[in-house]
Every structure is written in C-alpha cells, then in structure tokens.
Structure 1
C-alpha cells in the first residue's frame, strides 16, 4: 500500500471512530474482549464482564469457536479442495483468520468477509488491503440474497465452483421471527453441489441462560438453541463426521478433556450433494 492509500485508510478509520455508537455494547467488540483483544470500549467491557460473572466459561467458549473455525477451514482447504470461503459475521480480525489459514494451503484461495459492524470492516479492510484474493464488505445476514447477488462478492467468488459458507457464532444472534432457517436455506441454495455449510452456535443450556439478559442491551440479543434446533440448520446436507458436536470435539488437534466440554456451543459441517 502506498502513502496515499495508507492516508485514505487512516482517514476512514478516524471517520468511523467518530461515528461509533459508544452507548450500546457491540457483540463483535465483546467477542474481541473475550479473546483478549484491544478493539473494544468501556461499554463493551462492562457488558462482557457482566456476562463473565454469570458464565465464567464464556471466554473459553470464544477461544474454542476460533479454534473450531481454524480447524474447519484447514480441513476444507486441505482435505476437500475448497478454495472459496464466504465468512458472514466475521467479527474483528484476530490471529489465524480464514484467509490466512486457507492461503497457507493455497495462496490462490479466495475469501470474502461480510459483517455489519463498522469497526470490523475498518480493521478487516486495512488488513486485507494488499491481498487481491480477499474482500471485506458490509452486509447483513438477515438479507442473504443481497450478499449472494452483490457484484463485489461476485468479483471475488465464482459461484460456479464450490464455496464454503461460514456462519460461526452468528446465527445465535438471529431471532426466530427473522427465520434463520430460511436464511440458511437461501445461502445453501445459492451455491453449487460440493459446497459446504459451517455453523457454530451457542446451546440453550442452564449455564448460559443467565447471560441473555446482558445481551438484551447489546447490539444483538442472544438466542440460544437446543442441539436438535442447531442440527436443523443442516437439513438436506450430508454431515461431515463427527456430525454436530461440542466445538472441542470436532476433529480436535489434541486430546479433549472433560473440562473442555464446558463449552456450551455446538459446531458442524455439512456438504451439499
């Protein structure tokens, strides 16, 4: 990136920071806080700390979700030959982002990040400025057709070839009245056979129910769902082994201990035949 481009990025960042709503906790910035990041504000930290007081294992859940995503992307790139990834609700950049994992396998791998959080987009666009096979753009999961039809997305993703659609830690912010199953059906319907759907989702469990009150005052209320409800997102798809399981149990890199199962979130991968 040359000097004018760097100045332009810095100008956009400053403008976004001036326009940020710092009266409402952002679920993306709260997640960043759980992961030990620094892209969060007092309003986010206060809400996140309320969550942690009620459910101390939530930061571990956040880390488990990132590790699940890393393992899935590596598996899809290495074992399944997937070279295109559409990551919706990506969150703030951290270590081993989707494009970094995929492009370690094949530098030509293409990744589109979609998020509706302005700060997420500023950071992602700065990170990706010199990576021609990636794109970070604004978009809303609640309008999946708009994402699939966006010319910028189609400038990176070739929908005639298989795509991995990544919905990690985002569907539990979509209430039933918005029809999350219909959203997933639209996304799966927009990709060809041989594509994959990846979902991770918080469980409706007694350990987590108390935290929903904190999220009610954040940028998106949390909607916890049961295992059968989460598995329902994969209806019509061929589940990749081991199916829909607690996140640490999905093709782990190391031994899983009982303590790891305090993660009250499930994950799975489905293939479109």
Structure 2
C-alpha cells in the first residue's frame, strides 16, 4: 500500500504540484501588459481554470508516460506543461511543439477566453473612471493629475531606458489628445451658449449633437490615457486613481450645491 501511494504521488501528484506554480508565473508573464488576472472574479476564475486544467493534463501525461519512459522525471513533465501557456515561436522543433500541444490540450480555448475577459475588464474599468465629468475643466484637471501620476511611475526597476522614453512619449501624446478634445468641447459649448443667449432661444438638435460629440471625444481620449494606467500601473494604484478622480469631481459638486 505504501509503495502504491508513493508511486501515485511520484507519477501523478508531483507533476501537478510542480505545474501549478509554473503555470501561474507563466500566465502573469504572458498577460503582464494585457490586464490583471485578479482584476475581476471572472478573470480570476478563468486563470484558475487554466491552472487546474494544465496541472491535470500534466498529471495525466506523467501517469501515462512515466511507466513507459522511466528516465523522464515527473518534475520535468510538470514544468514543461506549465511553461506551455507561453506563446511559442514557429522556429521550434516539431517534436517539442507536438509534446507541448498534448500537455496543454484544451488550454488554447481557455487562454483565448481569458485574454478576452482581461480586455473587457480593462474597458469596463476605463469606462467607470472616465464617466461622470459634466464639466470639461474637471475632465481636463483629472487628465492632468493622471498624467503626473503615470510619469512618477515610469522609472521602475527592470524597465529599460528605451521603454521608459517610449512610455513617457506615449503618456504625453495621449494627454495632449485629451486636452485638445476638452478644448474643442468648451469652445463648441461656449459658442452655442453665446448664440442661444443672443438670439433668445434653446439649442437646436444639431447644436446639441455637436456638443455631445465633442463630449464623447473627450471621454474617449481620456479612456486611452487610462488604458496606460491599467496596463503599466499596479493594482494598488487603482485606489489612488479613484482618489484623484473624486478630488477633481468634488469642486463641481460643491459649486452645484452652493448654487442651489
């Protein structure tokens, strides 16, 4: 009984135990700029599904292969299966790719769903952070605070000088796009308000459409800037971003309350 138990652990349990942490590390590396595996319950569930499925395949492959190939260490089977979630190049040998295809059977569908879920999580988070600005000045102030927040986090350990320069440039370009869109918004809105006051009328449907379009463009460019925070920032920074957003919304709310 003890011998059978030891054989089961060596051939089935050990590969799965080794595969699980290797798979998780490879998932984090694969989706490091795509999103956060712990960003939502659904993304976490899909990541765990990939981990469990890959570990199960490693255990099954080890249990079926080891009796016929005793020179293959169980640990190696688990490590190879876990590393299989990383995209492979076409230059690899066909035999190695075939082995990985067997060990990671079914992972492709789960990984595709996980990548889609991470993109949806990012879009939903950016939507929440970009909504609620009734005044272009508040939106512009938040964009400026977000830009400074991002720039202070560019110089991180492990990021190359070229990557830092490129990220700074991208932050500046996306922030400039937000400011330009916010300026167009206030210009159109001011021109229409002035015309309505002079002519003693309400805005026409076309004028309302122009204001809504300018407002939508400013929101969309703000989402592009927020995507950099979601891609390159830490999960702990989300609280800071929400704090910056509430701080920029507070003056407008205070003014509306005092005006009432």
Bigger Cα Rg: 2
What TM-score do you get using the length of structure 1 for normalisation?
Answer: 0.23
> Which has the higher relative contact order, 1 or 2, with Cα contacts under 8 A spaced 6 or more apart?
2
What TM-score do you get using the length of structure 2 for normalisation?
Answer: 0.24
